[in-house]
């Protein structure tokens, strides 16, 4: 490229002084770095030259000018957007019954699920009077015989002596 000492390396490996100069011109350098750079610029004419070139070529970009946009552009753009708005509205209206159905189905599913959960909960927790009867059934079937015995200790004595051997084992009896 050139023998510029600030241009060491390839174009892809610009030293940081290049970045500092550009950032300085753009007002993006912090105060401390700006002061440090200004001190260098004060004593380094090559650096000042480089800064000047950067500034002048940046100013040249004003030659590009700013676009003037005609009414046709404005009108056609607004028409495009109006068309998009209409399409959006039509799509929304088309989807409304589908969304309503989904909401109703969702609500129905929710009610069903809640009911099922409630049923299961009540069934699990509510005391079942029949349960106790079922447990006591063996005793009830032989109630007449048991009423002839005074106490449980006599039954336990008969059981120890093997009187009930061979009969089914009734828990709790």
Partner 1 sequence: MLEVRDDNAAAFEELMLRYQGRVVTVLEHATGNRDLAEDLAQDVFLRMYRARKRYVPGAKFSTWLYTIANNVALNALRSRARRREVTLEGRESGPLGVRPLEAMIAASSGQIPARAADKAEARDVVQMAIQSLNERQRMAVLLSKFEGMSYAEIAESMGLSVQAIKSLLSRARNNLKEVLEPYLDRGQPPASEVGLRPAENEADSIRSEADRD
C-alpha span between 55 and 51 (Å, rounded): 6
Examine residue 85 and tell whether it contacts partner 1 (CB under 8 A): yes
C-alpha span between 15 and 4 (Å, rounded): 12
Examine residue 19 and tell whether it contacts partner 1 (CB under 8 A): yes
For the bound state, the minimum distance from the C-beta of residue 126 to partner 1, rounded and expressed in Å, comes to: 51
Examine residue 14 and tell whether it contacts partner 1 (CB under 8 A): yes
User: In the set 3, 10, 57, 128, which binds partner 1 (CB under 8 A)?
Assistant: 57
Could you tell me the two tokens for 124?
Answer: 């699990």
Examine residue 122 and tell whether it contacts partner 1 (CB under 8 A): no
Examine residue 59 and tell whether it contacts partner 1 (CB under 8 A): yes
User: In the set 8, 42, 49, 109, which binds partner 1 (CB under 8 A)?
Assistant: 49
Examine residue 93 and tell whether it contacts partner 1 (CB under 8 A): no
Examine residue 5 and tell whether it contacts partner 1 (CB under 8 A): no
With contact defined as beta carbons under 8 Å apart, do 54 and 12 qualify?
no
Examine residue 78 and tell whether it contacts partner 1 (CB under 8 A): yes
User: In the set 36, 74, 114, 142, which binds partner 1 (CB under 8 A)?
Assistant: 74
* Residue nearer to partner 1 on the CB measure, 58 or 146: 58
* Interface ranges with partner 1 (CB under 8 A): 1, 11-12, 14, 18-19, 21-23, 26, 28, 45-46, 48-49, 52-54, 56-69, 73-74, 76-78, 80-82, 84-85
């Amino acid at each position: 490229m050139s023998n510029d000492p600030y241009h060491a390396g390839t174009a892809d490996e610009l030293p940081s002084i290049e970045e500092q100069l550009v950032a300085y011109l753009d007002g993006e350098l912090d105060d401390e770095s700006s002061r440090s750079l200004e001190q260098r610029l004060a004593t380094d004419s090559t650096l000042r030259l480089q800064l000047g070139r950067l500034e002048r070529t940046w100013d040249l970009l004003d030659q590009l000018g700013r676009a003037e946009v005609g009414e046709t552009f404005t009108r056609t753009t607004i028409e495009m957007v109006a068309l998009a708005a209409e399409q959006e509205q039509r799509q929304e209206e088309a989807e409304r019954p589908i969304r309503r159905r989904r909401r109703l189905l969702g609500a129905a599913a929710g009610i069903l699920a809640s009911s099922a959960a409630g049923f299961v909960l009540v069934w699990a927790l509510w005391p079942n009077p029949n349960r106790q009867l079922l447990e006591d059934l063996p005793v009830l079937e032989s109630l007449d015989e048991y009423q002839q015995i005074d106490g449980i200790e006599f039954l336990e004595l008969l059981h120890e002596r093997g009187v009930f051997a061979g009969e089914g084992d009734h828990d709790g009896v």
